[in-house]
Amino acid sequence: MNLNQVLEEARLKAKEVKTSHELAELKASYLGKKSILNELMATMKNLSIEEKKTLGQQVNACKGELEEIFLLRRQEMEALEVEKRLASEAIDVTLPGKQVARGTHHPLTLVQQEIEDIFISMGYSIEEGPEVELDLYNFEMLNLPKGHPAREMQDTFYFDEVTLLRTHTSPVQVRTLLKDKGAPVKIICPGKVYRRDDDDATHSHQFMQIEGLVVDENITMADLKGTLLEISKKMFGEDRKIRLRPSFFPFVEPGLEVDVSCFACGGAGCPMCKHTGWIEILGAGMVHPNVLEMAGYDHHKFKGFAFGMGIERIALLRYGIDDIRHFYTNDIRFLKQF
């Protein structure tokens, strides 16, 4: 084999090596102790001085070229390594980010917020009260003394003689009147309430109400009616009418139940309104003089109206849900729809 062939072969082999280890082995096979070139040199002892000289020069030149071939290949491999690493570390800033699963608002929260917004736009402020309440505020000061038969309208969870889970948001009426000590009041109070009901499609031992209370001089039932009509329109559509039916709650006089004309059929009658054309949405009335007096308001000077509505009922109607228990069983498939 002549030296040119050696170089040619070395070039081809260098191209094929994949790792620096392979390259080092290849280099050793050409330039190491047992290399072809050294074998060639070993034959030199039989040659003439002249021949030795030329062959020696040729072999040295060839060694130089081989060094060059392997060096270039090493640099080439290193450059490729860098390229590969850069490619693997590259970040495409235009790619979309990872999707984070986001929760949704609970339908009851949505309805609560919507109702709050309507009242805030009408100048009401929002009050809150405790869910663990005194009998005093939940019943007594709402004109429901101990032993009053109307207490049984609301089956109560008692902790002891004086403490209970509030059965309605009306105790916040009393708390607000006591706090505001004779000044005009215009509030709503959303919150959870509890009753000893057996849970079924239309009953839950825990539910939500929004209480409303307005107390000032010269408040009349016309104010109550105007307010209820206004919120019914905002909640259920501009064409809504309302109907007030006499009813009884001990803390109001007169007491009313309020119906809104059915927003599904417009009043003609359909399954939603049980073919009556009307849907009951809340209880209301003019604040009873006893309630005003017990809280320190002069009932000759001050008059007021109050109302209480169930948030679940409105959410059931609004979203066409057929079972109140859906609100509390927290099935993600249900909750995700809102």
- The site for ligand PHE (CB under 6 A) is made up of 168, 170, 249, 252, 283-285, 306-308
Q: How far is the CB of 321 from ligand PHE (least distance, A)?
A: 21
Q: How far is the CB of 323 from ligand PHE (least distance, A)?
A: 21
With contact defined as beta carbons under 8 Å apart, do 142 and 171 qualify? yes
- Closest residue to ligand PHE, judged by C-beta, is 308
Q: Tell me the residue ranges of DSSP E strands in the chain.
A: 125-126, 132-134, 163-165, 185-194, 206-217, 242-247, 252-261, 278-287, 302-310
Q: Tell me the residue ranges of DSSP E strands in 87-205.
A: 125-126, 132-134, 163-165, 185-194
Q: How far is the CB of 308 from ligand PHE (least distance, A)?
A: 3
Q: How far is the CB of 214 from ligand PHE (least distance, A)?
A: 11
Q: Which CB, 167 or 261, lies closer to ligand PHE?
A: 167
With contact defined as beta carbons under 8 Å apart, do 142 and 170 qualify? yes
Q: Which CB, 190 or 308, lies closer to ligand PHE?
A: 308
Q: Taking the CB of residue 81, how many other CB atoms lie within 10 A of it?
A: 11
What stretch of H or E contains 108?
Answer: helix 107-121
Alpha carbon distance 167, 39 (integer Å): 106
Q: How far is the CB of 279 from ligand PHE (least distance, A)?
A: 16
How far apart, in Å, do the first and last CA atoms of the chain sit?
84
Alpha carbon distance 122, 321 (integer Å): 29
Q: How far is the CB of 236 from ligand PHE (least distance, A)?
A: 19
